[in-house]
Amino acid sequence: MHPVVEQVTAALEQRSAARRTRYLERLQAAAAREPRRKLSCSNLAHALAAQPDDARLIMKQGGAPHIAIVSSYNDLLSAHAPLRDYPERLKVALAHAGATSQFAAGVPAMCDGITQGEAGMQLSLFSRDLIAQATAIGLTHAIFDGGLYLGVCDKIVPGLLIGALTFGHLPAVFVPAGPMHSGLANKDKAAIRQRFVRGEVSREELLAAEQAAYHQDGTCTFYGTANTNQLLMEAMGLHVPGSAFVHPHTPLRDAMTDEAARLVARNSQQGERYLPLGVQVDARVLVNAVVALLASGGSTNHGLHLPAIARAAGYELTWEDFAALSQVVPLLARVYPNGAADVNQFQAAGGPAWILRELLAAGLLHAEVPTAAGEGLQAYAREPWLDGERLAWRELPAQSPAPDIVRRHGEPFVADGGFVLLQGNLGRAMLKTSAVDPAHWRVQAPARVFDSEAAVQAAYAAGELIGDLILVVRFQGPHANGMPELHKLMPLLANLQQAGQHVALVTDGRLSGASGQVPGALHLTPEAARGGVLAKLRDGDWIELDARQGLLRVALSDAELQTRTAALPPVALAAGYGLELFAAQRHLVGPADQGATSLCRDE
């Protein structure tokens, strides 16, 4: 076991000891209560009312595990559209496994692809917490012995997991649907966007390219936040092994969905092996998730989601933990935006199983952890296949079949994991280097300060973004406006960079997991709307961003900063599009480095 992985795990355990103890006490109390068996007759009758006769009978007897199905299905998200028929399929599979089940909750799911650059994006991160709460509402009926959680995309899997951890005495299996087939290559899609921004292609050509990329149901094919979720569920042992990137509507996918039902019934209190989710997700599992994130060049959004998930399990996972692990975890995959391959090509080259096998071999993962599939993570280092009609797993080749996509741990693409914690008089921020050319890891330039993504776009269109510059986009933090992704800035920033300008982004907002190329100091905390120095910046202030040194500073002394008046957040930010309903979240939300959540705050 690598000593740094051991140290980070021990430190995480130590700093979280009191919180984790409280969490486990709650979990044990919930497990001991067995509420279903103590429900009053009228409560139970309500639960049984809509059930088929045979299920009613079994549920009345109370001996079989009763499994909650929580789904984020809608057909607005291409990634979630295949989940439509899963509940019926799972109910049949659960019955075969001797369990009964109910569809406990449908939770909201929003598509960041549809809302990029629009007002709805301001609800994106808050939707994670709402999904956690909606999951809890389904489970709070207290009649369940386990949960199946159906979801794929950005905020949905973290939200489901936070909700499920609140009912950590129940076992959980996460059920994905898989990616769409490859369409127009992601880098060609990005190139056409850059040309559109430069006025070189028409809107019709742009739309044709977008539709060639997003062309059917299933998850988008780049390694953004949704697909990072999927790899993390593998690394945390919460999936049927290898189910992340199997296409929807295939016999293999169906077999894996059925297997999820078998596993959750088996892991219930009435099953062969009781595995409460809250016990399963311990410090080792959280560290494994961070390691897998880093080794695969995953989404920056998990710098928020993993600390929020950790808090739901009683842990204080910090950006320092990410940074320490990043120094020893090698980058083993090149998947867009960190490379040219898409997730289908990544999967064909070995996919998550390859990454996990290599990390296990390098002693960078805790191997002896309980998983949904059994004891030990090794089961997740093999690939699934159908042996006739039987679901089986087989070893991957020893050598990389595609060294431009996946590498052995001894021959990585880069020796570190590409997560940098930037610190200085502007605050603390995250920067992901895996998609950024090292030539751009250090930028020193005057600030151009904006209070919205739209204002940057207007300045670009007016030809005002000239020369080297650090684009400061502030009042984009969780308290200000829910911390939207600012992905629409990418084509224009990439154009400036390609034109030879030295550019970087500094923001208290987020970027999409699909963003790359241009260095971005993200999730800056404290945010401008909560006393951050960002609110005091002016055009022309000299900013230094250095990924190698972990530095982010403005060349102003403390005395100079003292004399500056902080700008006020733009007025009337939160009206229309439902934003007015989320005032309480904006008020309650915690800082980015604690997961930007209004849930699981310090007790």
Ligand X SMILES: O=C(O)[C@H](O)[C@@H](O)[C@H](O)[C@H](O)COP(=O)(O)O
Q: Give the x/- contact pattern for ligand X in 480-509, rule: CB under 6 A.
A: -----x-x----------------------
Residue whose C-alpha is closest to residue 425's, from 540, 559, 307, 539: 559
H/E segment holding residue 346: helix 343-348
**Please, what is the minimum distance in Å from the beta carbon of residue 584 to ligand X?**
24
Give the list of residues 6+ apart from residue 212 with CB closer than 8 angstroms, or none: 183, 184, 189
For the segment 285-304, give every residue that binds ligand X (CB under 6 A).
299, 301
Sole window of 224-232, 269-277, 364-372, 374-382 interacting with ligand X (rule: CB under 6 A) = 224-232
**Please, what is the minimum distance in Å from the beta carbon of residue 513 to ligand X?**
3
Sole window of 26-34, 108-116, 312-320, 521-529 interacting with ligand X (rule: CB under 6 A) = 108-116
In the list 512, 585, 597, 598, the residue contacting ligand X (rule: CB under 6 A) is 512
**Please, what is the minimum distance in Å from the beta carbon of residue 499 to ligand X?**
21
Taking the least distance from each CB to ligand X, the nearer of 69 and 231 is 231
Contact 167, 153 (CB under 8 A): no
Binding of ligand X by 115 (CB under 6 A): no
Inter-CA distances, 75 with 80, 87, 110, 220, 419, Å: 6, 15, 10, 14, 34
Contact 529, 477 (CB under 8 A): yes
In the list 166, 225, 268, 400, the residue contacting ligand X (rule: CB under 6 A) is 225
300/302 Cα distance (integer angstroms): 5
Binding of ligand X by 230 (CB under 6 A): no
In the list 65, 159, 171, 224, the residue contacting ligand X (rule: CB under 6 A) is 224
CA torsion sign, 340 to 359 to 245 to 222? negative
Binding of ligand X by 217 (CB under 6 A): no
Contact 503, 496 (CB under 8 A): yes
In the list 120, 278, 314, 513, the residue contacting ligand X (rule: CB under 6 A) is 513
Size of the site for ligand X (CB under 6 A): 15
Binding of ligand X by 220 (CB under 6 A): yes
User: If you count them, how many residues does the chain have?
Assistant: 603
Sole window of 111-119, 535-543, 546-554, 573-581 interacting with ligand X (rule: CB under 6 A) = 111-119
For the segment 124-163, give every residue that binds ligand X (CB under 6 A).
154
Q: Which residue is nearest to ligand X (CB)?
A: 224
Q: What share of the chain is helix, strand, coil (3-state, %, to 5)?
A: 45, 15, 40
For the segment 391-410, give every residue that binds ligand X (CB under 6 A).
none
**Please, what is the minimum distance in Å from the beta carbon of residue 296 to ligand X?**
14
H/E segment holding residue 383: strand 383-387
Binding of ligand X by 344 (CB under 6 A): no
Instruction: Classify burial at 137, counting beta carbons within 10 Å of its beta carbon; exposed 0-12, middle 13-18, buried 19 or more.
Output: middle
Binding of ligand X by 435 (CB under 6 A): no
| Collapsed DSSP state (helix, strand, coil) of residue 270 | coil
**Please, what is the minimum distance in Å from the beta carbon of residue 336 to ligand X?**
9
Binding of ligand X by 596 (CB under 6 A): no
Binding of ligand X by 116 (CB under 6 A): yes
Binding of ligand X by 266 (CB under 6 A): no
Taking the least distance from each CB to ligand X, the nearer of 121 and 421 is 121
Binding of ligand X by 597 (CB under 6 A): no
First to last CA, the chain: 33
Contact 80, 153 (CB under 8 A): yes
Give the list of residues 6+ apart from residue 334 with CB closer than 8 angstroms, or none: 297, 340, 341, 404, 405, 406, 413
Binding of ligand X by 243 (CB under 6 A): no
Give the list of residues 6+ apart from residue 522 with CB closer than 8 angstroms, or none: 300, 303, 429, 430, 431, 432, 505, 507, 509, 510, 511
For the segment 516-545, give every residue that binds ligand X (CB under 6 A).
none
Inter-CA distances, 424 with 395, 548, 558, Å: 47, 13, 12
In the list 112, 259, 282, 358, the residue contacting ligand X (rule: CB under 6 A) is 112
Sole window of 33-41, 109-117, 161-169, 476-484 interacting with ligand X (rule: CB under 6 A) = 109-117
- H helices of 413-531, in order, are 453-461, 478-481, 489-498
In the list 471, 514, 529, 592, the residue contacting ligand X (rule: CB under 6 A) is 514
For the segment 165-204, give every residue that binds ligand X (CB under 6 A).
none
- Token pair listed for 27: 């979990």
Binding site for ligand X (CB under 6 A): 112-113, 116, 154, 220, 224-226, 299, 301, 485, 487, 512-514
